[in-house]
């Protein structure tokens, strides 16, 4: 009976040992499964993070490229706009210069017309003044009598200019007015005269232009 008890205890111990070993194996298997699952989860999380990072990088790169393109378009449009503004400014300046030239040309033409009118008016005034002077002088010239002037000359030259003055001069009868006028003026300025030069210079010294003309005209008709 004592042997049976020992045998029972041994069997029970074996059974308990077997259960414990099985439980340990089961616990180990469960732990491995859990570890495997955690590893898978970590791997998947890592993969998702990497994918997210790649997607973010790609989005950022695309955004940068889009920004560059937009900036390039803006710069091109800016250049075109600036070019248009410059061309417009050039055209405006050119038109202003042309307009200025036209205005200057018109002003010059008006100035020429005004000057021409002024010159014409001045000419008319000068002509009127000259005419008035001529009319004022004419009566004085007409009033000079060659016949009266020759009375002083007739004492030496004869009443008809037929004598040689003091027996030395030329006979002046038959001289034309131009020759007489030239001789009288020559006596005045000392460029004419022979033996009678000294006497005649004193005689004609005080004669005016009108008196010389009147005397020459009278003598030419003797």
127-144: average pLDDT: 57
Give pLDDT, residue 146: 94
Taking alpha carbons only, the member of 145, 144, 142, 174 closest to residue 157 is: 174
177-205: average pLDDT: 90
Report the alpha-carbon distance of residue 124 to residue 126 in Å, rounded. 5
Which of the two residues, 22 and 177, has the higher pLDDT score?
Answer: 177
Report the alpha-carbon distance of residue 221 to residue 154 in Å, rounded. 14
Give pLDDT, residue 19: 44
Q: Are 205 and 177 in contact (CB under 8 A)?
A: no
Write out pLDDT tens, residues 77-87.
Answer: 767 766 775 67
CA dihedral 179, 183, 186, 190 (to 10 degrees): 150
38-43: average pLDDT: 67
Give pLDDT, residue 59: 72
List Cα–Cα distances, 154 to 42, 176, 181, 185, 219, in angstroms.
162, 17, 17, 19, 10
Whether 25 shows a pLDDT value over 60: the answer reads: no
Give pLDDT, residue 20: 45
Tokens of 141: 């010239």
Under the banding of pLDDT at 50, 70 and 90, the label for residue 220 is very high
Whether 211 shows a pLDDT value over 80: the answer reads: yes
Give pLDDT, residue 150: 95
Whether 107 shows a pLDDT value over 60: the answer reads: yes
Location of structure tokens 């004609």 = 204
Give pLDDT, residue 215: 96
Tokens of 86: 């410059």
Fold of 145-220: Cytochrome Bc1 Complex; Chain D, domain 2 (1.10.760)
Under the banding of pLDDT at 50, 70 and 90, the label for residue 195 is confident
Give the whole-number percent of the chain exceeding pLDDT 70: 61
Give pLDDT, residue 133: 46
Q: Lowest mean pLDDT: which of 104-113, 170-179, 201-210?
A: 104-113
Whole-prediction pTM: 0.37
Whether 2 shows a pLDDT value over 60: the answer reads: no
Report the alpha-carbon distance of residue 66 to residue 145 in Å, rounded. 118
């Amino acid at each position: 009976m004592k042997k049976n008890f020992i045998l029972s205890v041994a069997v029970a111990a074996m059974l308990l040992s077997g259960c414990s070993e099985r439980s340990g194996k089961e616990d180990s298997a469960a732990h491995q499964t859990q570890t495997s699952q955690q590893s898978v989860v970590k791997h998947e999380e890592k993969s998702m993070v990497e994918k997210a990072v790649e997607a973010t990088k790609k989005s950022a790169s695309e955004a940068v490229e889009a920004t560059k393109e937009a900036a390039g378009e803006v710069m091109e449009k800016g250049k075109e706009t600036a070019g248009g503004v410059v061309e417009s400014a050039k055209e405006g300046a050119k038109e202003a210069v042309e307009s200025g030239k036209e205005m200057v040309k018109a002003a010059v033409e008006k100035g020429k017309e005004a000057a021409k009118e002024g010159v014409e008016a001045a000419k008319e005034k000068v002509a009127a003044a000259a005419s008035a002077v001529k009319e004022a002088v004419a009566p004085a010239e007409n009033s000079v009598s060659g016949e009266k002037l020759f009375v002083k000359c007739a004492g030496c030259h004869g009443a008809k200019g037929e004598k040689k003055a003091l027996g030395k001069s030329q006979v002046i009868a038959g001289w034309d007015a131009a020759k007489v006028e030239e001789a009288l003026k020559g006596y005045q300025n000392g460029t004419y005269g022979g033996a009678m030069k000294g006497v005649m210079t004193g005689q004609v010294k005080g004669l005016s232009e009108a008196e010389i003309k009147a005397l020459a005209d009278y003598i030419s008709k003797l």
